Structure 1
Amino acid sequence: MAARGSAKSSSAVEKSPATTVDPHEEPSAEWGWHGGFPVGTRVAGWVGAFAVFAMLIGNHEGHTEDLWLLVIGSAMVVGLIWDQVRRRTSWRR
């Protein structure tokens, strides 16, 4: 009888998944892997910011375009730096 009790308790102590996603809240969970690309998103942000600043090179007659490109590119860089700082100090807040 003791063998049955130990077998029952060992089957109850199975490893459960760390995070589970409810398919009703996230329909894409039924398709398989469900997550994000945090590193890929940051890399794409830096590549995009570089591309915006690279657009400053060109045959612009006026400097209105340059001003918009500088503002948008600077906002992207500030957002990326803010995201990096927030990720490093998230446990302090």
Structure 2
Amino acid sequence: MAGSEPVTAPDQHKPINRRALRAGGFMSIVVLVLMAAFGNHTGRVENYISYSIAGIIALVMILDEALRRRGLRD
């Protein structure tokens, strides 16, 4: 029930395993690039979309690491 639940702040919860997140991001990039390179499609649109999504994931991972090194993210 709501009355018996302890009130906690979001920072009191278990932290996210950052190593697992980085590994998952890297594996997603690899899978997207391999799917675009060795897929069974004939058009180029699928390649552009797959490479774009892989690039966005890589950009987010790079920006996250840069912010962590500067101390702007914990």
TM-score bin, normalised by smaller chain: 0.7 to 0.9
Aligned residue pairs total 64
What's the % identity of the aligned pairs?
22
Q: TM-score, normalised by structure 1?
A: 0.60
Select the structure with the greater relative contact order (CA < 8 A; seq sep ≥ 6): 2
* Partner Cα distance (1:36, 1:59) in 2: 36
Deviant stretches of 4+, over 4 Å: none
Amino acid at match of 1:25: T
Superposition CA RMSD, Å: 1.9
Gaps of 5+ in 2: 1-5
Amino acid at match of 1:52: L
Matched, 1:50 2:30: yes
Matched, 1:87 2:38: no
Gaps of 5+ in 1: 1-22
Structure with greater Cα Rg:
1
Q: TM-score, normalised by structure 2?
A: 0.74
* Partner Cα distance (1:59, 1:43) in 2: 27
